[in-house]
């Protein structure tokens, strides 16, 4: 009950009913793509928060302070559940054991218990008063994955406005004892180009700073499990997914080869459980990438189908997919994208509604994620 009531009171795309990492990533990608469409540049700063769940300061360990910071009364949490949450967070102790020696017990003055379904929501409640910039800068927050971004037609105007928002956010981090690693954070200048350029930024620009430490400019950054490159080509992300899939397939090779005693049905089940989630994670976010790049994932699936079935070379790949009851990558992406945007249209969170509330144009120099659901399905036999 307390978990549901907490999630209902949190406005961000955090852990809760009908909220997920891909939704937040999609919102960011859609806003950047909209900037490409309008010939606007976007600068995003991604923050690496150190051990976020361990940094939830218990605000002096008093019930009034804990409730005040977590805004439990504002979230309309009943008093008896407030007391339960207070006891859940405070009065905990730890000890260290080495062989037969055990240290004295020490109080835990920060952090939320790891592994509990309440912990992510309590961290979200803890950061719910994070400052929202008022100068057009957008905040993308999913638990401890934090980013600020701003689109505009003039790069030199974007930088100071974004730095002002970073300074405000830095003061909030310091107030609530949340540590940020500037060297592991990243700033990315997103601009549309069909050519991969070597320079990170096209201008001589100062670096953003957190606590007087510079944030490096990068070509790409892994945000919520998705590798975002400065042109949103997603080739780096697809390459990383391919490498992970090849690694897992090599580990499962002894069970999926033709000589294995495992049944064909179980081999396909193993693929769907272990490989398919890795290959198709957050597909609506990058489903509009270059079909040639996406086809590299289809090649991996074609190889799997041929390996487990032992089919000769002249059997078509689409026949194997039909017999093994596996959808092609392109068809799955199209179906998932359509389902994803249909859900977003009726989502209770207005941030997600606005990200997908548009009709894809018939032609576009830079496709957006929703256009994937209107694409013709690519055949598997190629």
Residue 11 falls inside a structural domain = no
The reply to whether 256 and 364 lie within a common domain is: yes
Mean pLDDT of the chain: 81
242 and 280 Cβ atoms separated by less than 8 Å: no
Q: What is the pLDDT of residue 269?
A: 94
Model confidence over 286-313: pLDDT tens digits? 998 999 999 999 999 999 999 999 889 8
Residues 363 and 260 in one domain: yes
Instruction: Count the neighbouring beta carbons within 10 Å of the beta carbon of residue 160.
Output: 11
pLDDT value for 37: 86
Question: Do residues 34 and 167 share a domain?
Answer: yes
Of 75, 102, 123, the last residue of a domain is: 123
Query: Is the per-residue pLDDT at 216 higher than 60?
Result: yes
The per-residue pLDDT for 376 is 45
Looking at the structure, do residues 217 and 279 belong to the same domain, yes or no?
A: no
How far apart are alpha carbons 1 and 316 in whole angstroms? Answer: 52
Measured CA to CA, the distance from residue 29 to residue 31 in angstroms comes to 5
Based on the domain organization, do 144 and 71 belong to the same domain? Answer: no
Query: Quick check: is 25 in a domain?
Result: yes
Same domain flag for 244 and 214: no
Q: Looking at the structure, do residues 329 and 293 belong to the same domain, yes or no?
A: yes
Question: Do residue 63 and residue 42 come from a single domain?
Answer: no
Domain boundary among 123, 141, 156: 123
Residue 135 lies in a domain: yes
372, 333 contact by CB (below 8 A)? yes
Measured distance CA(380)–CA(264) in Å, rounded: 20
% of the chain surpassing 90 pLDDT: 42
d(CA 200, CA 207): 12
Choose one of 229, 246, 273: the last residue of a domain: 229
C-alpha span between 255 and 252 (Å, rounded)? 6
Same domain, 195 and 249: no
| Residue 175 and residue 81 share a domain | no
Give the global pTM: 0.82
User: 194: buried, middle or exposed (CB in 10 Å: 19+, 13-18, 0-12)?
Assistant: exposed
Read off the pLDDT of each residue in 26-33 and give the average, rounded to a whole number: 91
Residue 306 lies in a domain: yes
Q: Which comes out higher in pLDDT, residue 66 or 245?
A: 245
Per-residue pLDDT, 381 = 47
In a domain, 274, yes or no: yes
The CA-atom distances, in angstroms, between 12 and each of 16, 144, 160, 340, 378 are: 10, 12, 26, 18, 36
Residues 140 and 35 in one domain: yes
> b or e along 73-82 (b: 16 or more beta carbons within 10 Å of the residue's beta carbon)?
eebebeeebb
The answer to whether position 382 is within a domain reads no
280 inside domain: yes
Structurally, the chain folds into a number of domains equal to 3
200 and 295 co-located in one domain: no
Chain segment 177-207, per-residue pLDDT in tens:
788 999 999 999 998 765 666 677 766 778 8
Sequence-distant (6+) residues with CB within 8 A of 21 are 142, 145, 224, 225, 282
Q: Does residue 217 register a pLDDT over 90?
A: yes
| Residue 148 to residue 28: CA distance in whole angstroms | 10
Q: When comparing pLDDT for 66 and 38, which is higher?
A: 38
What would the mean pLDDT of 81-104 be, rounded to a whole number? 82
Question: Which residue range is the domain that position 175 belongs to?
Answer: 17-50+131-229
Q: How far apart are CA 217 and CA 208, in angstroms?
A: 9
Distance, CA of 223 to CA of 225 (rounded, Å) = 5
With respect to residue 111, please indicate whether it lies within any of the assigned structural domains. yes
Reply yes or no on whether the pLDDT at 234 is more than 90.
Answer: yes
User: 39-55: string of b/e by CB count within 10 Å (b at 16+)?
Assistant: ebbbbbbbbbbeebbeb
């Amino acid at each position: 009950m307390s978990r549901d009531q907490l999630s209902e009171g949190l406005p961000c795309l955090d852990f809760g009913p009908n909220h997920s990492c891909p939704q937040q990533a999609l919102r960011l990608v859609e806003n950047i793509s909209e900037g490409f469409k309008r010939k606007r540049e976007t600068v995003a700063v991604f923050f690496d928060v150190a051990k976020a769940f361990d940094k939830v300061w218990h605000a002096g360990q008093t019930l009034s302070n804990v409730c005040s910071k977590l805004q439990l009364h504002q979230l309309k949490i009943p008093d008896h559940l407030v007391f339960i949450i207070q006891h859940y967070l405070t009065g905990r102790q730890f000890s260290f054991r080495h062989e037969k020696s055990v240290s004295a017990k020490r109080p835990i003055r920060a952090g939320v218990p790891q592994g509990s379904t309440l912990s992510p929501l309590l961290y979200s409640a803890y950061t719910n008063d994070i400052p929202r910039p008022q100068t057009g800068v957008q905040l993308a927050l999913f638990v401890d994955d934090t980013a600020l971004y701003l689109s505009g037609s003039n790069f030199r105007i974007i930088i100071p406005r974004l730095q002002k928002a970073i300074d405000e956010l830095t003061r909030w981090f310091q107030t609530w004892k949340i540590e940020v690693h500037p060297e592991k954070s990243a700033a990315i200048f997103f601009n549309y180009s069909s050519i991969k350029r070597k320079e990170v930024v096209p201008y001589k620009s100062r670096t953003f700073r957190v606590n007087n430490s510079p944030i490096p400019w990068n070509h790409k950054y892994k945000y919520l499990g998705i590798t975002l490159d400065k042109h949103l080509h997603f080739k780096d992300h697809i390459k990383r997914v391919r490498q992970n899939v090849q690694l897992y397939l090599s580990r499962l090779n002894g069970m999926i080869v033709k000589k294995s005693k495992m049944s064909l049905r179980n081999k396909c089940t193993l693929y769907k459980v272990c490989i398919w989630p890795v290959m198709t994670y957050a597909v609506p976010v990058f489903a509009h990438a270059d079909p040639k790049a996406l086809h590299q994932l289809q090649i991996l699936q074609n190889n799997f189908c041929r390996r487990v079935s032992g089919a000769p070379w002249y059997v078509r790949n689409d026949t194997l997919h039909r017999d093994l009851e596996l959808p092609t990558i392109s068809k799955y992406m199209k179906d998932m994208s359509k389902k994803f945007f249909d859900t977003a249209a009726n989502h209770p969170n207005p941030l997600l509604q606005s990200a997908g509330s548009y009709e894809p144009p018939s032609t576009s120099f830079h496709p957006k994620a929703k256009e994937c659901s209107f694409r013709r399905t690519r055949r598997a036999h190629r």
